[in-house]
Amino acid sequence: MKDPNNPCIFCSIRKNELIFENSLAYASRDSYPVTKFHSLVVPKRCIKNYFELNDKEILACDDLVKKLQQKISSEDSTVKGFNVGTNSGKVAGQSIFHCHIHVIPRREGDVENPQGGVRSVIPSKQHYIRKKITLLIIQNPNNGSISQLNYFFKYTTNITIYKFYVFN
């Protein structure tokens, strides 16, 4: 198998493989896509990882990430979200040591439970239960509802509610 780092495959990309390009970076499709339209944003300067990017390169890459999101979303209405990320270092899963940013379109039902998103890089940490919340509600029955509780029900699975009424 050919070593993708010698010579660096991202330093010898062909123009016909580009989706977008600016003076400091380019975007292309991933050769081993996780999902349809999985793309990469690659700085033109050959550096090992994201943390070596300068401020101008970060802005140039971010511009292409946003352009990819817009293009993919307009071409595929089934795309409902994105994972955007980079692997920095061998222990983080990096296999090509030229910085690149993954833009991975996500669709409803593409995994059984997407909770945790990028946390799945450590499978045992992907799914989690939010901490228990205890609420003390003191309400005057003459001044409206407690619809604010919807927020708490949405973001936790374990709530204890104590409700007291205050009569004047």
**pTM of the prediction?**
0.74
- HEC string of 105-151 equals EEECCCCCCCCCHHHHHCHHHHCCCCCCEEEEEEECCCCCCCCCHHH
Strand pairing report for 39-43 and 25-29: antiparallel
Q: Between 43 and 5, whose confidence is greater?
A: 43
Residue 6 falls inside a structural domain:
no
What range does the domain containing 85 cover? 15-126
Domain membership flag for residue 158: yes
Per the structure, the count of domains in the chain is 2
Q: Assess if residue 19 is contained within a domain.
A: yes
pLDDT digits (tens, 9 = 90+) for 123-151: 777 676 766 665 555 555 555 545 555 55
The answer for residues whose C-beta is within 8 angstroms of residue 134's C-beta and 6 or more apart is 159, 160, 161, 162
47-72 per-position pLDDT tens digit: 999 999 999 999 999 999 999 999 99
Least confident of 38-47, 57-66, 77-86, 118-127: 118-127
